[in-house]
Amino acid sequence: MTAKIILFVLELAIMWNMVQTDHDEIEKAEAMNSMAGLKYTIDHTWDGLPLAHEAIKIDMKWHFERLVGRPHKRVVKISFDAPFFDDPEPMDPPGITPQLWDFEVLEFFFANDRGQYLEVEIGPHGHWLCLLFDGVRHPINNGEELELEVRNKWVGNRWVGEVEIPLAYFPAKVSKFNAYHIHGNDTERVYAALNPVTDGTYSEPDFHRLDFFQRINMRRIVPEGYGDRPFADFKYGDLWAGHY
């Protein structure tokens, strides 16, 4: 009888420790909602020339939210304010859209020093695409399974919105970042970049030139304790499994 009581007490202690650990992590994540964040302005073309139109403003910050009966939300929230050019929209309904880069679009790239990176594309009509790469232009997913929470609105001739990128989408140890805005058709296509992707030797834009990305301090948007390895949660699992 005594042995059963001891075993029961030990089980209770283990369960309490698990609950307390999760509670401590939740409190820590909620406290980080007030982190400083990062702000950027895109005001140059892909080759470093001043834009002929208004700049694109980007604001990134951490967001944690408890969800009852569902996995808690751990995301990097990006708010943006960009010119709206009202280019023809994709024929696909809003949601995941292959080859979204052929339309009016905002793109965000997060890379590490191993050449692994996340590409997130957002369109003004509710379309998006998320691709994970292990090496330049070597995707490990097809972009047709990763959901995003996207909110868009038009304010006059401005496209204002936000996107929430789950922490599970990011590769480990993100250290570099770039962002792009694309609009126009055919020969009138305009490619804007936060950091130019040429040193003067390229005649065409290529947004996968990781060497031209700028350094990013992820500790301003992701709490300490996250980011050293890909985050696996109950909803998304480990998207980078086999690519450590």
Q: What is the mean pLDDT of residues 12-39?
A: 58
Domain ranges of the chain: 35-220
Q: For 224-236, what is each residue's pLDDT tens digit?
A: 889 899 999 888 8
Q: What is the pLDDT of residue 36?
A: 84
Q: What is the mean pLDDT of residues 114-140?
A: 97
Judged by DSSP in three states, 128 sits in strand
Q: Which pTM was predicted?
A: 0.87
Q: What is the pLDDT of residue 15?
A: 43
More confident position, 126 or 66: 126
- State the amino acid at position 209 in one-letter form: R
Q: Supply 200's token pair.
A: 């003067």
Q: What is the pLDDT of residue 19?
A: 40
Q: What mean pLDDT is reported for the chain?
A: 88
CATH fold group of domain 35-220: Immunoglobulin-like (2.60.40)
Q: What is the pLDDT of residue 33?
A: 63
21 band by pLDDT with thresholds 50, 70 and 90: very low
Name the DSSP letter for residue 240: T
197 band by pLDDT with thresholds 50, 70 and 90: very high
Q: What is the pLDDT of residue 43?
A: 98
Of the listed ranges 8-22, 31-45, 138-152, the least confidently predicted one is 8-22
Residue 223, classified by CB atoms within 10 Å of its CB into exposed (0-12), middle (13-18) or buried (19+), is buried
Flag whether pLDDT at 11 surpasses 60. no
Name the DSSP letter for residue 237: B
| Residues 141 and 239 sit within 8 Å (Cβ to Cβ) | yes
Flag whether pLDDT at 214 surpasses 70. yes
Q: For 83-113, what is each residue's pLDDT tens digit?
A: 999 999 999 999 999 999 999 999 999 999 9
Nearest to 124 by CA among 61, 78, 82: 82
72 band by pLDDT with thresholds 50, 70 and 90: confident
Q: What is the mean pLDDT of residues 41-46?
A: 98
